[in-house]
C-alpha cells in the first residue's frame, strides 16, 4: 500500500464527529511540496497505465459574457478516480475569459470578476470507500504545481542524464512553478529566461535568482535563451507558436503546456514525442455567438492529425515502462503537457488531505451538511 493512500480514520478519535476539510491556498502552500507532487504523480501514472485508474476528458461549456468586451463565460470540469489512493476528485472552474492582443501575440486572460476581484476554481475530493466528501479546496496553488510536476516528471524520463541547462519561455505563474519543479528532478546550473516584455523577464530573473540561490539570465530573444539548452520549457499564455524547428539541437528536451505554443514541425522533428493524453482538446459546447480564438485560429484537431497524437506514447506509458523513453544522449525529445486531467487532482489531493489531517490544518464542517439520507 503506498504511503500516501488515505486512511479515512486519520485524525479521528473514538466518538469524534465526521468532518469534511475546507482548505485554502495558504494551507496548500504550507503543506504541499513539489517533491510530494512529483512522487504521487509518478505512482498515479503507473497505476493509470495498469488500468487501476480512470478519468474523464475535460468538459467546457462556453457562452458569451457582458462582463468585459469580447468576453466569454466558461464552465469547466475534469475528474478522475485513483482507487489505489482511495480517492476521486472533480475540479470545477467558473471563469470569465478575454483574449487581448499583447504585442504581436494574442493572450488568454482570465478576469477576476468574483466579489473582491477574485477567481473561482474548486477541487472536491471524495473517498472511493464511502463516497463521502473528504475535502474542498481552491485550485490556485495546486494547479501550477500539478502542471509543472507533470512536466518535471516527463523531464526525469526524457531529458538526458546530467542535464544542466534550462531555457524557460514565459514569466507568469505557470513559468514560476516550472522552475521550482525542474530543479527537483535535475541539478540545474544554468538558467535562461525569455518573455516578450523586457521588464517582465528582468523582474523574473532578479526575483527567482534570489529564490533559487542561483543566477537566472534574462535573454533578449527566445532563440538566444534556447541555444545549447539541455531542457526547453515553454510556459506561456500565448495562443501562437513560440518555438521554432530550427532551434532544436541533438540531445535537447522540449516541453510545452499548451498546444498553440508548439508547432507540428517542431514535434515531428523530435526523435521521441510523448503526450500527456492522446486527445488534443476538451469536449466543448458553445452557446450562440460564443467562440474561442484558440480553436478558430489554431485547429487543434488538425495539429493532432499532423503529429499522430492518437498513436503517440503517453506519459503513463513512459513512466510505467510500457513504451521506451530516451535511449540515447543525442535524441531530441518532446513532451506535450497540453491537456490536464482530473486524475492529477485526485492524486495530489490525496497527499494534501493526508498532510492536512496530520498537521491539524484547515477548517472542518460537518460531513452531514454535504451528504443526505435521501436516495439521489
How much is the pLDDT for 9?
47
Mean pLDDT confidence for 126-136 = 97
How much is the pLDDT for 8?
52
How much is the pLDDT for 295?
52
Alpha-carbon dihedral angle through residues 264, 266, 272, 278, given to the nearest 10 degrees: -30
DSSP, collapsed to helix, strand or coil, labels residue 10 as coil
List of E strands, 99-145:
101-102, 105-106, 109-111, 120-127, 133-138
Question: What domains lie within the chain, and their CATH numbers?
Answer: 19-142+342-369 (3.30.1780.10), 144-336 (3.40.50.720)
Mean pLDDT confidence for 141-149 = 97
d(CA 134, CA 291): 36
Mean pLDDT confidence for 198-222 = 95
d(CA 98, CA 293): 10
DSSP, collapsed to helix, strand or coil, labels residue 339 as coil
Mean pLDDT confidence for 72-91 = 98
Each residue's pLDDT tens digit, 212-250? 899 999 999 999 999 999 999 999 988 788 899 999 999
Each residue's pLDDT tens digit, 96-114? 999 888 777 778 889 999 9
Give the position of cell 473561482: 120
How much is the pLDDT for 51?
94
d(CA 313, CA 327): 15
pTM, rounded to two decimals: 0.91
How much is the pLDDT for 12?
44
Measure Cα distances from 15 to 9, 11, 129 in Å: 11, 12, 20
Residue 66 DSSP symbol:
S
Letter string b/e over residues 242-275, b meaning 16 or more CB atoms within 10 A of that residue's CB: bbeeebbeebbbbbbbbbbbbbbebbebbebbbb
Amino acid at each position: 500500500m503506498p504511503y500516501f493512500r488515505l486512511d479515512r480514520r486519520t485524525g479521528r478519535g473514538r466518538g469524534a464527529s465526521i468532518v469534511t476539510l475546507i482548505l485554502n491556498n495558504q494551507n496548500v502552500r504550507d503543506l504541499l511540496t513539489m517533491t510530494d507532487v512529483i512522487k504521487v504523480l509518478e505512482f498515479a501514472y503507473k497505476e493509470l497505465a495498469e488500468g487501476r485508474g480512470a478519468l474523464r476528458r475535460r468538459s467546457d461549456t462556453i457562452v458569451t459574457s457582458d462582463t468585459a468586451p469580447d468576453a466569454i463565460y466558461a464552465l469547466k470540469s475534469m475528474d478522475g478516480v485513483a482507487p489505489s489512493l482511495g480517492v476521486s476528485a472533480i475540479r470545477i472552474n467558473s471563469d470569465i475569459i478575454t483574449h487581448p492582443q499583447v504585442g504581436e501575440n494574442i493572450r488568454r486572460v482570465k478576469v477576476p470578476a468574483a466579489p473582491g476581484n477574485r477567481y473561482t476554481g474548486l477541487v472536491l475530493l471524495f473517498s472511493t470507500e464511502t463516497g463521502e466528501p473528504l475535502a474542498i479546496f481552491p485550485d490556485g496553488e495546486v494547479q501550477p504545481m500539478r502542471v509543472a510536476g507533470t512536466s518535471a516528471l516527463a523531464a526525469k524520463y526524457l531529458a538526458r542524464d546530467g542535464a544542466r541547462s534550462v531555457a524557460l519561455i514565459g514569466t507568469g505563474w505557470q513559468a514560476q512553478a516550472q522552475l521550482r519543479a525542474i530543479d527537483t528532478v535535475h541539478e540545474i546550473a544554468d538558467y535562461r529566461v525569455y518573455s516578450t516584455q523586457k521588464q517582465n523577464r528582468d523582474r523574473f530573473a532578479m526575483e527567482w535568482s534570489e529564490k533559487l540561490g542561483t543566477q537566472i539570465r534574462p535573454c533578449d530573444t527566445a532563440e538566444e535563451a534556447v541555444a545549447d539548452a539541455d531542457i526547453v520549457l515553454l510556459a506561456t499564455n500565448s495562443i501562437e507558436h513560440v518555438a521554432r524547428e530550427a532551434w532544436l539541437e541533438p540531445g535537447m528536451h522540449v516541453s510545452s503546456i499548451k498546444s498553440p505554443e508548439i508547432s507540428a514541425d517542431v514535434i515531428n522533428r523530435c526523435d521521441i514525442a510523448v503526450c500527456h493524453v492522446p486527445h488534443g482538446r476538451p469536449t466543448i459546447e458553445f452557446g450562440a455567438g460564443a467562440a474561442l480564438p484558440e480553436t478558430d485560429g489554431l485547429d487543434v484537431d488538425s495539429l493532432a492529425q499532423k503529429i499522430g497524437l492518437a498513436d503517440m506514447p503517453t506519459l503513463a506509458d513512459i513512466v510505467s515502462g510500457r513504451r521506451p523513453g530516451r535511449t540515447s544522449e543525442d535524441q531530441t525529445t518532446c513532451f506535450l503537457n497540453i491537456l490536464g486531467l482530473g486524475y492529477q487532482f485526485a492524486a495530489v489531493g490525496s497527499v494534501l488531505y493526508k498532510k492536512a489531517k496530520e498537521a491539524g490544518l484547515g477548517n472542518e464542517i460537518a460531513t452531514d451538511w454535504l451528504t443526505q439520507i435521501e436516495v439521489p
